[in-house]
C-alpha cells in the first residue's frame, strides 16, 4: 500500500499493525481470528475490539464480493485508536442496497457500469473509535482505453486534520497520471500547511507536466470545520440532509499552468462547519457534475458504489472520494 503509484497513500504505522489476506469466502473465519488475536495483543478495550471485529468482517465480505484481482487490508493500532485501510484492485463494483436510486435523478437502468467493469479500484479507510469523520471510501476507474488512471486521490490524516484530495491529470494515460501524482505527492508532504499554501506548493510541483485539475478538503477534526477549494473542474461538495449544503466555488484554472509573474494562481479557500451526519464528496469530471445523494441513507461503501454506478461517465478517468 506504500507503492507511490497506488491511489492509497497514508501516513506511517505507529505501534502494531496487522495485514489481512483476503481472497475468498474461505478466508472469512481466519480474518476474524486474526483480528481478534490482534485486538487482544494490542490490549484494546472490549468495545473497540468488538468494533474492530465488525469492521474487518464487513470489509472482508465486501472484498470477496468485489472479486478483485489484488487486495490488501491493514489494521494499525496505537494508543487505543485503530485505523483500518483496505484496497481492492480490478474488481467489480457491487452494492448491498436494493434501492439503487431514490434520489432526485431518475434511476439509471441497465447496463450497470460497475457490474460489467472489472477495472475498478475500491479502497476504504476507517478510524475507531468513531469521530466526526471516521470513514472514507474511494472508487476509481481508468479511461476505458487506458490501464492507468489519470486521476489520483489522497487520504492523509494527522491528529488534528484529515486531508482529502482528488487530482485529475489533463487528458488520460501515463502523462496524466504523472501530473496527478505530483500534485498528490505535494499535498501529502505539505499536510502541515493550510489549504492555500499547500495548493500553491502543488502548483509548483505540477509545473513541467501537462497540468491537472484539483479538489482539496481539509477537515479540522476538533473544530469540525471543513476548508476546501477547487482548481478546475474537480468538485468538492458537502451534503447534509436533503441537498447540497456547501460547494466551494474554486478557481477556473489548471494546476501547474501559468506560473511566473503573469500567471499567478488565484486560490480561493472557503470554509463550512461540518454538521453531524454530513457527507463530504470529491470527484473528478469523470462523474457527472450533478451528482446528488439518494434520499435513502446506506452504508458509506454502498453509497460510494451507488454514486459511482449512477454518475460515472463512460469516456474518462473517474474518481470518487466520499467521507462521513
Ligand atoms: Mn477527467
Q: Which CATH number belongs to the domain containing residue 278 in this structure? A: 3.60.40.10
Taking the centre of ligand 1 as the mean of its atom positions, its distance from the CA of residue 168, in whole angstroms, is 6
> Is the CB of residue 247 less than 8 Å from the CB of residue 217?
no
Taking the centre of ligand 1 as the mean of its atom positions, its distance from the CA of residue 175, in whole angstroms, is 13
Q: What are the phi and psi torsion angles at 83 (to 5°)?
A: -125, 130
Shared domain check, 122 and 72: no
Taking the centre of ligand 1 as the mean of its atom positions, its distance from the CA of residue 33, in whole angstroms, is 42
Domain boundary among 57, 86, 115: 86
Taking the centre of ligand 1 as the mean of its atom positions, its distance from the CA of residue 318, in whole angstroms, is 7
Cis peptide leading into 111, omega within 30 of 0?
Answer: yes
Shared domain check, 103 and 13: no
Domain containing 245: what range? 92-323
The residue behind cell 472508487 is 139
pLDDT score, position 67: 83
Domain boundary among 52, 69, 86: 86
Q: How many domains does the chain have?
A: 2
* pTM (predicted TM-score): 0.88
Taking the centre of ligand 1 as the mean of its atom positions, its distance from the CA of residue 170, in whole angstroms, is 7
Shared domain check, 260 and 156: yes
d(CA 185, CA 166): 12
The residue behind cell 486521476 is 151
Pick from 256, 262, 266, 259: which is nearest to 213 by CA?
256
Taking the centre of ligand 1 as the mean of its atom positions, its distance from the CA of residue 179, in whole angstroms, is 12
Shared domain check, 100 and 61: no
Taking the centre of ligand 1 as the mean of its atom positions, its distance from the CA of residue 173, in whole angstroms, is 11
Taking the centre of ligand 1 as the mean of its atom positions, its distance from the CA of residue 286, in whole angstroms, is 5
Can you tell me whether residue 154 is helix, strand or coil? strand
pLDDT score, position 270: 98
Taking the centre of ligand 1 as the mean of its atom positions, its distance from the CA of residue 119, in whole angstroms, is 16
Taking the centre of ligand 1 as the mean of its atom positions, its distance from the CA of residue 316, in whole angstroms, is 6
Shared domain check, 75 and 97: no
Shared domain check, 146 and 6: no
Taking the centre of ligand 1 as the mean of its atom positions, its distance from the CA of residue 211, in whole angstroms, is 12
10-residue stretch averages of pLDDT, the chain, 324 residues long = 40 67 90 95 95 96 86 91 92 61 43 60 94 93 92 95 97 95 97 97 93 97 96 96 87 82 79 94 96 88 93 95 97
pLDDT score, position 106: 43
Domain boundary among 32, 57, 86: 86
Amino acid at each position: 500500500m506504500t507503492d507511490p503509484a497506488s491511489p492509497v497513500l497514508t501516513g506511517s504505522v505507529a505501534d502494531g499493525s496487522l495485514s489481512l489476506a483476503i481472497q475468498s469466502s474461505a478466508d472469512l473465519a481466519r480474518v476474524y481470528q486474526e483480528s481478534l488475536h490482534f485486538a487482544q495483543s494490542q490490549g484494546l478495550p472490549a468495545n473497540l475490539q468488538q468494533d474492530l471485529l465488525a469492521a474487518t468482517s464487513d470489509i472482508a465480505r465486501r472484498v470477496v464480493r468485489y472479486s478483485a484481482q489484488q487486495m490488501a487490508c491493514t489494521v494499525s493500532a496505537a494508543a487505543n485508536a485503530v485505523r483500518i485501510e483496505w484496497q481492492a484492485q480490478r474488481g467489480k463494483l457491487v452494492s448491498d442496497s436494493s434501492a439503487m436510486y431514490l434520489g432526485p435523478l431518475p434511476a439509471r437502468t441497465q447496463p450497470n457500469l460497475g457490474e460489467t467493469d472489472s477495472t475498478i479500484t475500491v479502497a476504504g479507510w476507517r478510524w475507531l473509535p468513531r469521530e466526526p469523520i471516521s470513514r472514507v471510501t474511494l472508487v476509481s476507474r481508468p479511461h476505458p482505453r487506458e490501464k492507468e488512471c489519470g486521476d489520483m486521490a489522497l487520504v492523509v490524516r494527522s491528529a488534528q486534520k484529515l486531508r482529502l484530495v482528488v487530482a485529475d491529470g489533463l487528458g488520460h494515460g501515463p502523462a496524466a497520471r504523472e501530473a496527478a501524482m505530483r500534485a498528490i505527492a505535494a499535498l501529502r508532504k505539505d499536510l502541515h500547511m493550510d489549504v492555500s499554501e499547500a495548493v500553491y506548493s502543488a502548483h509548483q510541483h505540477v509545473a513541467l507536466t501537462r497540468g491537472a485539475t484539483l479538489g482539496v478538503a481539509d477537515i479540522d477534526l476538533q473544530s469540525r470545520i471543513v476548508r476546501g477549494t477547487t482548481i478546475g473542474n474537480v468538485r468538492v461538495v458537502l451534503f447534509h440532509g436533503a441537498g447540497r449544503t456547501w460547494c466551494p466555488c474554486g478557481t477556473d484554472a489548471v494546476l501547474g499552468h501559468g506560473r511566473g509573474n503573469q500567471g499567478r494562481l488565484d486560490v480561493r479557500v472557503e470554509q463550512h462547519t461540518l454538521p453531524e451526519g454530513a457527507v463530504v464528496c470529491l470527484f473528478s469530471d469523470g462523474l457527472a457534475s450533478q451528482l446528488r445523494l439518494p434520499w435513502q441513507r446506506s452504508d458509506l461503501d454502498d453509497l460510494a458504489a451507488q454514486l459511482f454506478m449512477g454518475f460515472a461517465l463512460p469516456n474518462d478517468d473517474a474518481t470518487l472520494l466520499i467521507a462521513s
